[in-house]
Structure 1
Amino acid sequence: MVTPQAGDALMSLQRIAAVGLVGFIGLAGTLGLVTVGAVGSTAQTRAPSCVSSGSVSGLTASQAQNARTVVAVATQRGGERAAFIAVMVALAESGLRVLTNPNDPSGAAYPNEGVGYDHDSLGLFQQRPSWGTAAQRMSPTESTHLFLDALLRVPGWQEMTPWYAAQMVQRSAFTGRPTVGNHGSSMVGENYWRQADRAVGIVAAIKGSTITLDCGDAGVPIVQTASAGTHGLPAEYAIPQGTSPAGRLAVTFALAQLGKPYVWGGNGPGGYDCSGLTQQAWIRGGVRIGRVVSQQLRAGAPTTLASLQPGDLVMIPGALGTMAAPGHVGMYIGQGLVVHAPRTGDVVRVVSLKPFISDGLAGLRHIS
Structure 2
Amino acid sequence: MAAQTSTTTAAGASLALPVAIPAVGCVAILLGILGGGAVSAPPAYGCAGGGAAQTVAGLRLDAEQMGNAATITSVAASLRLPAYASTVALATAYQESRLINSTAQSDHDSEGLFQQRVSIYTAAVASNPVRATTAFLTRLVQVPGWQAIPLTTAAAAVQRPREDLRDAYAQWEPLAQQLTALLWPTAAATTAGAPVSVACPPDRPLAGPSADNVAGTTTVPSGLVITGTAKGRAAVRFALAQLGKPYVFGAAGPDAYDCSGLTTAAWASVGVALPHWTVSQSQAGTPVGIGNAVGGDLVFIPGSDGTAQAPGHVGMVVGYVARADGPHLYLLQAPMTGVPVELTEVSQWSGQIVTVRHIA
**TM-score, with normalisation over the residues of structure 1?**
0.46
Higher relative contact order (CA 8 A, sep 6+): 2
Structure with bigger helix share is: 1
Query: Which has a greater percent of strand?
Result: 2
For normalisation by structure 2, the TM-score amounts to: 0.47
